[in-house]
């Protein structure tokens, strides 16, 4: 019963990796797509788990005659079979892990419904079929798949889980193309920064923790191997992280956060195939070299202008292939226990890696290319600009509301709208300050309009007075302007004073003229 309890615990740890992938991918993508990335990680687990129960488990671990495909165990009930039930649960988590790798690779440009179809294709057919070839024999009483019977060893899934998911993801991104603005016209790449790097770091740490169950539970029993496997797993992640840090510092003169995250994950992926047959120093070496290979693969994808949003293929594909090869290169032959010498073991490992690539990438690329002609998998450029949160789920965020109103004001010069404020949040604080700035601009704009109107009144009054030769202070209409306390008010008051003086002089002249007109003719006016 202790073995059942251990496998239940490890199943929970592997499920926790699903949350780790969600945090990692959401943090490494832009905020306008973060909800879409998160919901894909939830949806693909539900889909993969349901299909694995319905027929995936049967295809993978059912009875086989030729080692190519299982044929029994569809929709299992596991009545009074706790050992089979916990084995199913553990393997179901692995299926979900392989499926969710795709969501990160193709992030920010794939339709949600298209992703659902991809998840069905991968978890319902591609993964369980290859899993049958490589792992059918680990279920009690099974004769084993054809690849497994050749001597292929992949302890916890560097190839079966990680590379299969990565090859499928690579096929997807080749079919749908890079994100808008990812590569410039001159061939240079333009990095797209993630929205929440601390969230990604949390995801990496959750994955690291979950990997203890991923590798430790693959013994399928709580035996003497488990402590060494867990130590090898952790130390391979350490080796990958340190190697990535050193290489990043050499190339960029700084330790880039993304490379630190991916280096540690690449080390974990690499050791997954061989953690049961190597020593701790070799685990560090496998993890470190796996990280270096992942970084080189990432650079090569960049040169080929292949846009892998979270470096899923370099981390899970390239490092996974290397780790699978390390079974033959560094594994103790007595622990591998296939009866092959080292040279033959290496050849079988290479053959298994190639089989995974041909089966997964070849089939996925061919099928998806045809499907894309009938049903485009990618969102439109307009939807990509808006972000998949809104275009695919109508899920608005505080940030979206802020930018939407800012864009509207920039286009229309209408400053009457205000951004909704959600208190006690960072975006809410920004919205408050933004609204205050707009208040000031609107007040200044209104003042400017009033100033222009008053200047017009002053100018019009002067022109009218000159044209009509009517210098009457009461007719100028400058009383409101004269009440201002600024220079324009002073000018209006000065004009009123000048016009008043002119008006008085005109009245005096008129009076003198009347007096002159009243004097008798012939009287000396001197």
What is the domain-level CATH number for residue 95?
A: 1.10.3430.10
Confidence at residue 460, expressed as pLDDT on a 0 to 100 scale: 67
The region that residue 472 occupies, defined by phi over 0 for left and psi between -120 and 50 for alpha, beta otherwise, is: beta
Calpha distance 387→32 (Å, rounded) = 5
Tokens of 505: 């002089």
Please indicate, yes or no, whether residues 379 and 234 belong to a single structural domain of this protein: yes
- Please indicate, yes or no, if residue 525 is contained in any of the structural domains: no
What's the mean per-residue pLDDT of the chain?
Answer: 89
Please indicate, yes or no, whether residues 198 and 82 belong to a single structural domain of this protein: yes
Please indicate, yes or no, whether residues 284 and 420 belong to a single structural domain of this protein: no
**Largest alpha-carbon pair distance within the chain?**
152
Q: Which of 75-84, 217-226, 354-363 has the lowest mean pLDDT?
A: 75-84
Confidence at residue 2, expressed as pLDDT on a 0 to 100 scale: 95
Q: Can you give the residue range of the structural domain that contains 493?
A: 402-518
Phi and psi of 189, rounded to 5°? Answer: -95, 150
| Between residues 299 and 497, the one the model is more confident about | 299
- Please indicate, yes or no, if residue 392 is contained in any of the structural domains: no
Is residue 220's pLDDT more than 80? yes
- Please indicate, yes or no, if residue 526 is contained in any of the structural domains: no
- Please indicate, yes or no, if residue 8 is contained in any of the structural domains: yes
- Please indicate, yes or no, if residue 393 is contained in any of the structural domains: no
Please indicate, yes or no, whether residues 212 and 125 belong to a single structural domain of this protein: yes
The residue from 357, 384, 411 where one domain ends is: 384
Q: How confident is the model at residue 112 (pLDDT cuts 50, 70, 90)?
A: very high
CB 339 within 8 A of CB 132: no
Calpha distance 266→240 (Å, rounded) = 6
Please indicate, yes or no, whether residues 359 and 419 belong to a single structural domain of this protein: no
Residue-wise pLDDT for 15-58, tens only, equals 999 999 999 999 999 988 999 999 999 999 999 999 999 999 99
List all residues 6 or more positions away from 362 whose beta carbon is below 8 Å from its beta carbon: none
Q: Which of 129-138, 372-381, 481-490 has the lowest mean pLDDT?
A: 481-490
Please indicate, yes or no, whether residues 349 and 408 belong to a single structural domain of this protein: no
Is residue 274's pLDDT more than 70? yes
Using alpha carbons, select from 217, 338, 239 the residue that is nearest to residue 283. 239
Please indicate, yes or no, whether residues 98 and 243 belong to a single structural domain of this protein: yes
Tokens of 107: 């992030």
Please indicate, yes or no, whether residues 371 and 235 belong to a single structural domain of this protein: yes
Residue-wise pLDDT for 430-488, tens only, equals 777 777 777 777 777 676 667 767 666 666 666 666 666 666 666 666 777 777 887 77
The residue from 352, 384, 416 where one domain ends is: 384
- Please indicate, yes or no, if residue 44 is contained in any of the structural domains: yes
- Please indicate, yes or no, if residue 391 is contained in any of the structural domains: no
Please indicate, yes or no, whether residues 301 and 437 belong to a single structural domain of this protein: no
| Between residues 185 and 359, the one the model is more confident about | 359
Please indicate, yes or no, whether residues 204 and 233 belong to a single structural domain of this protein: yes
Calpha distance 269→240 (Å, rounded) = 10
Tokens of 266: 């690449």
- For tokens 């795709």, the residue is 102
Q: Terminal CA-to-CA distance of the chain, rounded, Å?
A: 140
Phi and psi of 378, rounded to 5°? Answer: -95, 150
Helices (H) and strands (E) in the chain, counts: 23, 0
- Please indicate, yes or no, if residue 150 is contained in any of the structural domains: yes
Confidence at residue 526, expressed as pLDDT on a 0 to 100 scale: 46
SS3 content of the chain, % helix, strand, coil (to 5): 75, 0, 25
| Between residues 34 and 423, the one the model is more confident about | 34
Confidence at residue 464, expressed as pLDDT on a 0 to 100 scale: 64
Please indicate, yes or no, whether residues 211 and 324 belong to a single structural domain of this protein: yes
Tokens of 483: 């009440």
Q: Which of 38-52, 258-272, 422-436 has the lowest mean pLDDT?
A: 422-436
Confidence at residue 501, expressed as pLDDT on a 0 to 100 scale: 78
Please indicate, yes or no, whether residues 414 and 365 belong to a single structural domain of this protein: no
CB 190 within 8 A of CB 10: no
How crowded is residue 375: how many other Cβ atoms within 10 Å of its Cβ? 11
Using alpha carbons, select from 462, 467, 487, 491 the residue that is nearest to residue 477. 462
The residue from 384, 410, 431 where one domain ends is: 384
Using alpha carbons, select from 37, 125, 96, 118 the residue that is nearest to residue 310. 37
Calpha distance 35→376 (Å, rounded) = 22
Confidence at residue 341, expressed as pLDDT on a 0 to 100 scale: 97
Tokens of 380: 């439109």
* Count: domains in the chain: 2
């Amino acid at each position: 019963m202790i073995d059942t309890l251990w496998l239940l615990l490890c199943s929970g740890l592997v499920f926790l990796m699903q949350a780790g992938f969600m945090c990692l991918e959401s943090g490494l993508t832009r905020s306008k797509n973060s909800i879409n990335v998160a919901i894909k990680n939830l949806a693909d687990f539900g889909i993969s788990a349901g299909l694995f129960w319905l027929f995936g488990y049967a295809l993978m671990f059912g009875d086989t005659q030729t080692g190519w495909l299982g044929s029994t165990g569809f929709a299992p009930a596991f009545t009074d079979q706790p050992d089979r039930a916990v084995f199913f649960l553990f393997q179901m988590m692995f299926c979900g892990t392989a499926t969710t790798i795709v969501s990160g690779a193709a992030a920010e440009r794939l339709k949600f419904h298209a992703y659902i179809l991809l998840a069905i294709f991968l978890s319902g057919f591609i993964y369980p079929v290859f899993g049958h070839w490589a792992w059918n024999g680990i279920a009690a009483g099974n004769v084993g798949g054809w690849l497994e019977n050749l001597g292929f060893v992949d302890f916890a899934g560097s190839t079966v889980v990680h590379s299969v998911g990565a090859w499928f993801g690579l096929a997807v991104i080749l079919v749908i193309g890079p994100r808008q603005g990812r590569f410039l016209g001159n061939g240079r790449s333009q990095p797209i920064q993630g929205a929440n790097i601390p969230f990604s770091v949390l995801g990496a740490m959750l994955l690291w923790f979950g990997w203890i169950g991923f590798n430790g539970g693959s013994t399928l029993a709580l035996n003497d191997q488990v402590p060494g496997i867990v130590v090898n797993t952790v130390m391979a992640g350490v080796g990958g992280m340190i190697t990535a840090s050193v290489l990043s510092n050499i190339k960029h003169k700084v330790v880039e956060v993304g490379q630190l995250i991916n280096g540690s994950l690449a080390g974990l992926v690499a050791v997954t195939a061989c953690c049961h047959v190597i020593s701790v120093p070799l685990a560090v070496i496998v993890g470190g070299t796996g990280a270096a290979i992942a970084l080189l693969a990432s650079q090569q994808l960049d040169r080929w202008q292949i846009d892998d949003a979270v470096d899923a293929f370099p981390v899970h594909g390239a490092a996974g292939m290397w780790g699978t090869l390390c079974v033959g290169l560094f594994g103790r032959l007595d622990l591998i226990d296939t009866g092959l010498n080292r040279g033959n073991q290496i050849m079988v490992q290479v053959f298994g890696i190639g089989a995974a690539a041909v089966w997964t990438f070849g089939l996925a690329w061919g099928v998806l290319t045809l499907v894309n002609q009938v049903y485009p998998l990618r969102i439109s450029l307009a939807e990509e600009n808006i972000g998949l949160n809104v275009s695919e789920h109508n899920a608005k965020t505080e940030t979206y509301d802020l930018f939407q109103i800012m864009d509207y004001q920039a286009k229309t010069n209408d400053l009457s709208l205000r951004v909704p404020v959600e208190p006690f949040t960072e975006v809410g604080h920004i919205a408050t300050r933004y609204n205050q700035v707009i208040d000031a601009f609107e007040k200044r704009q209104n003042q400017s309009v009033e100033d222009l109107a008053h200047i017009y009144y002053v100018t019009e009054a002067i022109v009218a007075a000159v044209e009509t030769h009517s210098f009457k202070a009461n007719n100028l209409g400058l009383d409101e302007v004269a009440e201002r306390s600024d220079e324009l008010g002073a000018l209006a008051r000065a004009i009123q004073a000048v016009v008043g003086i002119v008006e008085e002089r005109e009245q005096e002249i008129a009076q003198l003229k009347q007096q002159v007109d009243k004097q008798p003719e012939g009287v000396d006016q001197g």
